[in-house]
C-alpha cells in the first residue's frame, strides 16, 4: 500500500512536470514556425493544463479501465470549479470582464449537457467519441474566430502573453520530446498505482477516477490560476477553468471512448453527471445574479464546501 502511494505521488509529480514541459516546447516550436501567438495561446497553451487528464484517460482506456477515464473527466470538471475556482476566489475576488467568457460559459454548460445525453444509455460508443471530437473542433474554431474578431478582448490578450518567446528551436524541440516521452510513462505509473490503492480499499474504478486521479490531474489548473492571480489577470483564471472543462468533456472524454468503447458505471450517468452539471452552472448563475460580475470570497467558500461535501458523499457511499 505504501509503495503504491509513493509511486502514485511520483507519477503525479512527473505527470504535472512533463505536461508543463510538453506545452512549453510545443508552444515555442509553433511560435518559431511562425504561428500567430494568439492562436497558440488559445489552443496549445490553453489546452495544456488538461494534458494530464488526456494522458491518464488514454492510459486507463488502454488498460480496459473505461470507468476510471470517465471518472477522471467528471471528477476533474467538478474539482476545477469547486476546488480550483473556489480557492482562487477565496484568495482574491474574481472580476469577469471578458466577452469571451460570456460565450465560453454557456458552451461549457451545453457541452456538459451533451455529455449527459451520451452517458444516459450507460454506454459510450466510438460514434459518441466522434461526436465529442467534432464538437471540440467546432468550439476551437469558434474561439479562434471570436478572438480575431475581438483582438482587444482581455482573455485573448492574456492567453497570447502566456506564449513563450525567444526560445531557440533546439531547446524547444528538446522539451517537446521530453514531454512526449515522460507524459505517457508517468500517466501509466499513476493509473497503475491508483488502481492498486483502489483495490486495497475496495474502491471502484469510477471512484478512484473521481477522487485521487481527478484531483491530481487538476493540479496544473491550480498552478495556472495562482499564477494568473499573481498577475491580476482575473479573466485568465476563470478562462483556465472554463477552457479546461470544455477540453475535458469534448476532447479528453472522446479519447477513451474511441480507444475502448463500452458500458459505464450507472453512477457516472446519474449522481456524478448531475453534480458536474450543477457545478458547471454555478459560476454562470453567480455572474448572472450579481450586478458587479464578481465571484467573491463567499462564493469561493461555498464552492469549496461543495467539493468537501462531494468527497464525503463518494466515500460514504463506497464504504
The pLDDT value recorded for residue 307 is: 95
**Residue with C-alpha cell 499564477?**
227
Residues 151-192 have pLDDT tens digits of: 666 666 666 666 777 888 888 889 888 888 888 888 788 878
Write down the mean pLDDT value for the chain. 84
CA-to-CA distance for 126 and 108, rounded, in angstroms? 22
Residues 71-82 have a mean pLDDT of: 94
pLDDT recorded at residue 98: 62
The CATH T-level fold of domain 49-159+194-318 is A middle domain of Talin 1 (1.20.1420)
Taking residues 46-72, report their average pLDDT.
Answer: 85
Give the residue-averaged pLDDT of 90-94: 90
Name every residue whose Cβ is closer than 8 Å to that of residue 8 and which is 6 or more positions away in sequence: 189, 190, 193, 194, 197, 212, 216
26 vs 32: CA distance, rounded Å: 10
Give the pLDDT confidence score for residue 84 in this predicted structure. 92
**Taking residues 61-69, what's their average pLDDT?**
89
Q: Using CA atoms, how far apart are residues 287 and 281, in angstroms rounded to an integer?
A: 10
Residue 253's pLDDT band, with cuts at 50, 70 and 90, is: very high
Over 70: is that where the pLDDT of 99 sits?
no
* Measured distance CA(6)–CA(319) in Å, rounded: 24
Q: For residue 301, is pLDDT > 90?
A: yes
For the chain, the structural domain boundaries read 49-159+194-318
Q: Which helix (H) or strand (E) holds 123?
A: strand 123-124
Is 268 within 8 Å of 191 (Cβ atoms)? no
| Closest alpha carbon to 173 in 36, 28, 34 | 28
pLDDT of 280 reads: 93
* Residues 206-247 pLDDT 10s: 888 898 888 888 877 787 788 778 777 777 788 888 888 999
Contact 193, 4 (CB under 8 A): yes
Q: Which residue has the higher pLDDT, 8 or 307?
A: 307
Beta bridge partners of 123: 263
Judged against a pLDDT cut of 70, whether residue 105 lies above it is answered with: yes
Write down the pLDDT at residue 156. Answer: 60
Helix H, strand E, coil C: the string for 81-97 is HHHHHHHHHHHCCEECC
Cβ atoms within 10 Å of 146's Cβ, excluding its own:
17
Amino acid at each position: 500500500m505504501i509503495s503504491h502511494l509513493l509511486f502514485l505521488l511520483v507519477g503525479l509529480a512527473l505527470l504535472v512536470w512533463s505536461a508543463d514541459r510538453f506545452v512549453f516546447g510545443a508552444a515555442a516550436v509553433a511560435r518559431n514556425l511562425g504561428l500567430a501567438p494568439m492562436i497558440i495561446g488559445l489552443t496549445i497553451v490553453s489546452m495544456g493544463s488538461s494534458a494530464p487528464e488526456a494522458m491518464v484517460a488514454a492510459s486507463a482506456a488502454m488498460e480496459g479501465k473505461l470507468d476510471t477515464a470517465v471518472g477522471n473527466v467528471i471528477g476533474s470538471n467538478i474539482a476545477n470549479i469547486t476546488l480550483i475556482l473556489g480557492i482562487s476566489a477565496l484568495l482574491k475576488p474574481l472580476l469577469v470582464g471578458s466577452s469571451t467568457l460570456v460565450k465560453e460559459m454557456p458552451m461549457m454548460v451545453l457541452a456538459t449537457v451533451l455529455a449527459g445525453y451520451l452517458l444516459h444509455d450507460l454506454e459510450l460508443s466510438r460514434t459518441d467519441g466522434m461526436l465529442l471530437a467534432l464538437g471540440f473542433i467546432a468550439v476551437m474554431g469558434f474561439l479562434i474566430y471570436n478572438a480575431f474578431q475581438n483582438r482587444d478582448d482581455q482573455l485573448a490578450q492574456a492567453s497570447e502573453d502566456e506564449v513563450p518567446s525567444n526560445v531557440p528551436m533546439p531547446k524547444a524541440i528538446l522539451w517537446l520530446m521530453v514531454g512526449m516521452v515522460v507524459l505517457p510513462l508517468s500517466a501509466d505509473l499513476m493509473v497503475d498505482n491508483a488502481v492498486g490503492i483502489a483495490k486495497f480499499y475496495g474502491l471502484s474504478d469510477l471512484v478512484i477516477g473521481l477522487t485521487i486521479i481527478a484531483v491530481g490531474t487538476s493540479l496544473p489548473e491550480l498552478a495556472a490560476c495562482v499564477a494568473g492571480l499573481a498577475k491580476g489577470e482575473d479573466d485568465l483564471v476563470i478562462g483556465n477553468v472554463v477552457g479546461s472543462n470544455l477540453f475535458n468533456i469534448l476532447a479528453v472524454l472522446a479519447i477513451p471512448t474511441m480507444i475502448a468503447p463500452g458500458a459505464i458505471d450507472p453512477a457516472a450517468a446519474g449522481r456524478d453527471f448531475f453534480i458536474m452539471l450543477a457545478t458547471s452552472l454555478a459560476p454562470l448563475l453567480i455572474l448572472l445574479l450579481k450586478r458587479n460580475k464578481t465571484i467573491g470570497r463567499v462564493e469561493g467558500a461555498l464552492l469549496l464546501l461543495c467539493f468537501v461535501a462531494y468527497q464525503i458523499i463518494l466515500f460514504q457511499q463506497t464504504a
